[in-house]
Amino acid sequence: MTPISAHWQAVKTRIAVATRAAGRPVGTVTLLAVSKTFSAAHVKACHAAGQIAFGENYVQEALEKIAALAGSLANPAIEWHMIGPIQSNKTRSIAEHFAWVHSVERDKIAQRLNDARPAHLPPLNVCIQVNVSGETSKSGIAPGAEIALADMIATLPRLRLRGLMAIPEPTPDGAVRRARFALLRRLQQALIARGHPLDTLSMGMSDDLEDAIAEGATVVRVGTAIFGARETQ
Ligand SMILES: *Cc1c(COP(=O)(O)O)cnc(C)c1O
């Protein structure tokens, strides 16, 4: 086993253990491998271990990896998820090359992604990013504002609203961590009650995926625990 496949397997085990501990059926939490700052070769090693879905924060960096890997994978199935802040001049590239966007936080971006989604591809899966920690430094819309944005996205035929995403501030206080994740879950449930057919709660990273799974995460986004420490950011 390569170090990446061993780390990947360890993360899969952490997810299964946490899912069982939460009394949830194993297999209800999927792993998004966050490959930002790591090379196409790293992605390829993780993909060879069995990983299909990869998360990227920077469009240009992702496009380079997508091009480098095209035609070179033993199993051609690979799925790219945009998880970083979105600039409006990047919406076309995102709509053309990604299967999911976790970080939608503005009407204008949703509209542009919808308009640019190519007709030969299925609707783009999207999550609304909510700022559950109330920090000015973090992206995401304020809790409550996701309702109007969800209603707007539901009118866009080339987008499929799947759920909510959050990046809570790091804290050593487990109760605070759990409360942030629980808030996102309550917001999702309110949208479901409003008639939005959501199935996704994208929350939890290398350091807090167990708490996120305990509070209902369906997708955990894990970078460091698979690929190692990042040199930048
Ligand atoms: C970098 C990043 C992650 C992964 O964080 P790790 O702590 O390395 O697991 C998850 N989600 C988002 C949005 C990120 O930017």
Check residue 231 and give its pLDDT: 86
Check residue 76 and give its pLDDT: 87
Task: Tell me, using a 6 A CB cutoff, whether residue 206 lines ligand 1.
Answer: yes
For the chain, the C-alpha Rg in angstroms (whole number) is 17
Which tens digit of pLDDT belongs to each residue from 40-65? 999 999 999 999 999 999 999 999 99
Buried b (16+ CB within 10 A) or exposed e, 98-109: bebbbbbbeeeb
Please give the CATH topology (third level) of the domain spanning 3-20+28-227: TIM Barrel (3.20.20)
CA distance linking residue 184 with residue 182, whole number of Å:
5
Distance (Å) from CA 110 to ligand 1 centroid: 22
Q: So where are the chain's domains?
A: 3-20+28-227
Task: Tell me, using a 6 A CB cutoff, whether residue 139 lines ligand 1.
Answer: no
User: Which is the closest atom of ligand 1 to the Cα of 225?
Assistant: 9
User: Which is the closest atom of ligand 1 to the Cα of 221?
Assistant: 10
User: Which is the closest atom of ligand 1 to the Cα of 233?
Assistant: 1
Looking at the chain, the whole-number percentage of residues with pLDDT higher than 70 is 97
Check residue 2 and give its pLDDT: 79
Distance (Å) from CA 142 to ligand 1 centroid: 20
Angle at 123 between CA 117 and CA 129, to 5 degrees: 90
